[in-house]
């Protein structure tokens, strides 16, 4: 598994597939594997893109500092840029989910020259009231997301827990989320990049995601019926819409 220290901490990442570069940015408490490989996105996209899938600081196999001062959305954007620089990628498409959507927004605002298209899932222009720190939900019977067999769930959870560091995750929360949104969302009105925003209709971030799409000029919003925050990332509809969008953005570019 390749790694880089260009952002000041050790960042491990995966490289998969072939074709134009595409960076996949995971959410809070997740990892590149749990967010993008185990959910089927890597299989969906690797036939058309070279995928770069980092574990952000504090997550997965990457370094996990215990000081909250080491964590911010800007620092995590630098983790992404470090991977791109290590691989010689000047510009790429980006997909970010949940916290990864915040990182994607920061890249759009502060490093627009490094992106050619962006997909944001499960994140919006504001934080919903009474949102929890962690997402716990029962998958709706109308969800289209594949349901994992019990044995697969056990293997997935065992691997997840092995890489989970509660002290580092607490530091991430204090550094990134505790004091509210760390981005000037109003500045997204100046973004000219093609953007797709998607969220499950049962996700607390559904209304904020719709508002986000209305903030960004020419952004496209895709509702994912009967999907929550956790199930939406496994939604075949989300994957199909993102693939279609990225193919169109590539052809336009």
Share of the chain above pLDDT 70, in %: 88
Tell me: the pLDDT tens digits for 103-132? Answer: 999 999 999 999 999 999 999 988 887 665
pLDDT of residue 174: 93
Segments forming the whole domain that contains residue 206: 3-252
Tell me: the pLDDT tens digits for 80-106? Answer: 999 999 999 999 999 999 999 999 999
Give the CATH number, domain containing residue 236: 3.40.50.1820
**CB-CB neighbours of 129 under 10 Å:** 6
3-state class (DSSP) for residue 107: helix
pLDDT of residue 150: 57
Cα distances (angstroms) measured from residue 82 to each of 9, 71, 87, 160: 10, 15, 9, 24
Task: Kindly state the DSSP code that residue 186 receives in the 8-state scheme.
Answer: G
CB 223 within 8 A of CB 145: no
Cα distances (angstroms) measured from residue 141 to each of 122, 138, 156, 198, 230: 20, 9, 22, 20, 14
Q: How many domains does the chain have?
A: 1
Tell me: the pLDDT tens digits for 171-206? Answer: 999 999 876 666 788 899 999 999 999 999 999 999
**pTM (2 decimals)?**
0.91
Tell me: the pLDDT tens digits for 121-174? Answer: 999 988 887 665 556 667 877 887 777 665 666 565 666 667 789 999 999 999
Residue/partner pairs of 5-10 with CB below 8 Å, 24 or more apart = 5/82, 6/81, 6/82, 6/85, 6/86, 7/57, 7/75, 7/78, 7/79, 7/81, 7/82, 8/75, 8/78, 9/57, 9/62, 9/63, 9/65, 9/70, 9/79, 10/62, 10/63
Cα distances (angstroms) measured from residue 28 to each of 3, 25, 163, 186, 251: 20, 10, 13, 23, 32
User: What is the rounded distance in angstroms from the CA atom of residue 150 to the CA atom of residue 191?
Assistant: 43
pLDDT of residue 224: 97
User: What is the rounded distance in angstroms from the CA atom of residue 213 to the CA atom of residue 81?
Assistant: 24
């Amino acid at each position: 598994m390749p790694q880089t220290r260009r952002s000041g901490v050790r960042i491990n990442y995966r490289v998969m597939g072939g074709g134009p570069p595409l960076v996949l940015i995971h959410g809070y408490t997740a990892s590149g594997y749990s967010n993008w490989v185990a959910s089927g996105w890597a299989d969906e996209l690797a036939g058309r893109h070279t995928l770069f899938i980092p574990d952000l600081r504090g997550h997965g196999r990457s370094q996990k500092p215990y000081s909250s001062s080491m964590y911010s959305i800007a620092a995590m954007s630098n983790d992404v840029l470090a991977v791109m620089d290590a691989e010689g990628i000047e510009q790429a498409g980006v997909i970010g989910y949940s916290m990864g959507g915040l990182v994607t927004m920061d890249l759009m605002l502060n490093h627009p020259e490094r992106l050619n298209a962006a997909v944001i899932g499960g994140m919006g222009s504001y934080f919903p009231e009474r949102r929890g720190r962690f997402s716990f939900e029962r998958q709706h019977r109308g969800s289209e997301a594949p349901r994992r067999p019990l044995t697969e769930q056990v293997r997935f959870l065992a691997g997840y827990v092995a890489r989970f560091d509660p002290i580092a995750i607490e530091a991430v929360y204090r550094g990134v989320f505790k004091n509210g949104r760390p981005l000037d969302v109003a500045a997204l009105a100046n973004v000219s990049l093609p953007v797709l925003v998607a969220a499950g209709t049962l996700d607390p971030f559904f209304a904020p995601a719709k508002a986000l799409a209305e903030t960004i000029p020419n952004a496209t919003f895709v509702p994912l019926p009967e999907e929550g925050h956790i199930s939406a990332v496994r939604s075949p509809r989300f994957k199909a819409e993102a693939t279609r969008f990225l193919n169109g953005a590539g052809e336009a570019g």
